[in-house]
Chains A and B, each alone.
Chain A
Amino acid sequence: MRRGETLLGLLGAAALMAAALLAPWLKFILTVALAKGIAVIGILLLLRAGQVSFGHALYVAMGAYTVAFLAPAMPDAAVLLPAGAAIATLTGLLIGLFVSRYREIFFGMLNLALSMVVYSLLEKLYDLTKGTDGIRVELPRFFGMALDRPGFEWAMFATALVLALAAGAFARLYLDSPMGQALSAIKTRETRLEFMGISARRVLLAAYVLSALLGGVAGAIIGMTTRHVTPLLAYWTASGELVFIAILGGAGSVLGPFLGAVTFELVRIYAGAAVADAWQMILGGVLLAVILFAPGGLWGMIAGLLRRRAGAAS
């Protein structure tokens, strides 16, 4: 299964590359989808511990706003991307120290509350953030190269693809490591973990900080790709989307988030515009349906199909 996952991941990356080459207008959507997938990997880590955060868009917004604030001074993706990730990680550490004491509903709602606070601050501190108008980001350089717009978009797409593969591989290794195993133990019975001398709080904190880092990376990519950063990035609907993608894609594999994100973004481009007023309703409906009837998500369905194939062949 592990080798199959790697193979499928590389195949998926090649397919995305081919799609972007054949239809260049797709690469913008795919870049954003890959970025969201990276953020959802963070959600996946927390889900492994049985915790769900309704506020992780906060870290995406942190990454994006870092890009927006720093871009005039240091307009290079090689600086902006790590800076966005670093600021988000620091914020995640600070908030994580607090929220890692809580579980389940408290964990979810405290994250929601904190992201709403940041959203309102981004919206209200007009002098600093230009409020709901948001901040425009000038086209940055890419590792010292001054690229034109299509060139830079290609560079961002490639960056997102490479980072997505890296995030997926890293998450796989992390979940298989003792730290990852301890995460699952938080879900099953935390007290037993503590009897073994392992601090559940630290295990969750480590995963939380990682998820903030991944959110920051995603935010920095989104900030440089859309080049317009608004408070909506931190709104609860954005956090809801991340959770939605995680469940839609399936929490059983590190490929799930990307499967979910690409499906989500493609459907949103076509269906979302047609039913803008009912978009959240459709998301909620699908979320309900997946939870009640297909708990494995898209990945679960595909894995089921593959297994049946393998069973029929042997």
Chain B
Amino acid sequence: MAEWFGDNSGLLGLALLDGLASAGLIFLVAVGLNLVFGVLRIINVAHGSLYAIGAYAAASVGIFFASAGLPAWASLPALVVAAALVGGILGPLIERLVLRRIYGQEEVLQLLVTFALFMILEDVQKLIWGVQPVQHDLAMRLLGTYDVPFAGDVVPFTAYQLFVLPGVALVVLVGLAWFLRRTLTGRVIVAVTTDREAATAMGIDARRVFLLTFTFGAMLAALGGALSSPTGAIVPGIGAQTIVLSFAVVATAGLGQTEGAALTALMIGLGRSIAVYFEPELEVVVPYIIMVAVLLVRPQGLFGSTVARRI
């Protein structure tokens, strides 16, 4: 065992760093999905499409900024601008035009409606950005690489994946905790999550909270996508992958758990990247093995609590 670690320390180091970076992205998407579910009680299957559209839009905005002659550092804010645009436009549009019609309906119907949205958005991506891989990695090249000392080895790693991705995830985690606990808007959201009826009776406009939360969740998904775009080519199908993966995180952590989602994202991100380096065939399967294993033992998720059954 010790010998194996010695022989593979370089690979293992890379796997850990990669896992940390991808965990950051998965967390951003999963926490948005979680937040929307908490308030609207709808699992938005189209959440993965928002991630994909965020990624495509970030590449487009990045290319536009570069062609407009803006300096290279502008490629970093370009990512955030793209995410805000996608979330800010698509979020309210989806909530107002579609979701608003199905609040309080059967859960199957809500699920089917967001699935229909997912199908529509999947082709919207193909119509706008085509099916060829899209790539724009200026933001990642800009920051260069950083040599990480690891178990006597030196692992060169891109600074973008090393600092920006986990950093943003950490900022979102802390910021969200502060926002939900310390600000008025945040507390209103928590109130609606806990008891919609009581909150409405206290004079909270639940519909406005729904709109706000959904837009915010959409922005988080788009931000995850935008931040992922410099790290590789964007191809059709990432939307489906992302929704399933982030659902796996949310289900494993337990619905409604923000901090739990962060830990689970870390676990699944690391598991996946270790698989990439040592058993590449298993990469796609690892998150689900983790999810199924956890759900078999704890059906309510690692950090979830059981809900009393209605009679």
Contact = CB atoms under 8 A, between A and B. Distances in A.
Interface of A: 47, 50-52, 54, 98, 101-102, 104-106, 108-110, 112-114, 116-117, 120-121, 124-125, 189-192, 195, 236, 240, 243, 247, 277-281, 283-285, 287-288, 291-292
A191 B124 contact: no
Given A105-B111, A190-B309, A285-B116, 20 more contacts: A50-B107, A52-B112, A98-B296, A104-B111, A105-B43, A116-B241, A121-B281, A125-B281, A240-B115, A243-B112, A243-B115, A278-B123, A284-B116, A284-B120, A284-B122, A287-B116, A288-B117, A291-B102, A291-B116, A292-B102
A190 B309 CA distance: 9
A110 B111 CA distance: 13
A277 B295 CA distance: 38
A116 B248 CA distance: 12
Q: Which of B102, B115, B122, B123 is most buried by chain A, counting CB atoms within 10 A of its CB?
A: B115
Given A105-B43, A280-B120, A51 B115 contact: no
Nearest to A126: B281
B202 interface: no
A121 B107 contact: no
A6 to B, nearest CB: 28
A25 B240 CA distance: 35
Contacts of A247: 112
Interface string B286-311: 00100110011001000000000111
A288 to B, nearest CB: 4
Majority secondary structure of chain A interface residues (helix, strand, loop or mixed) = helix
Interface of B: 43, 45, 98, 101-102, 106-109, 111-113, 115-124, 126-127, 240-241, 244, 247-248, 251, 281, 284-285, 288, 291-292, 295-296, 299, 309-311
Contacts of B244: 109, 112-113, 116
A94 B121 CA distance: 34
B106 A50 contact: yes
Contacts of A291: 102, 109, 112-113, 116
Contact of A192 (B98, B109, B311): B311
Contact of B108 (A51, A101, A112, A195): A51
Contacts of B284: 116-117, 120, 124
Contacts of B117: 284, 288
B299 A191 contact: no
A124 B283 CA distance: 11
A102 B107 CA distance: 14
A178 B26 CA distance: 44
Nearest to A277: B126
7 contacts: A52-B112, A104-B111, A116-B244, A117-B284, A191-B309, A291-B113, A292-B102
Contacts of B311: 189, 191-192, 195
Nearest to B280: A124
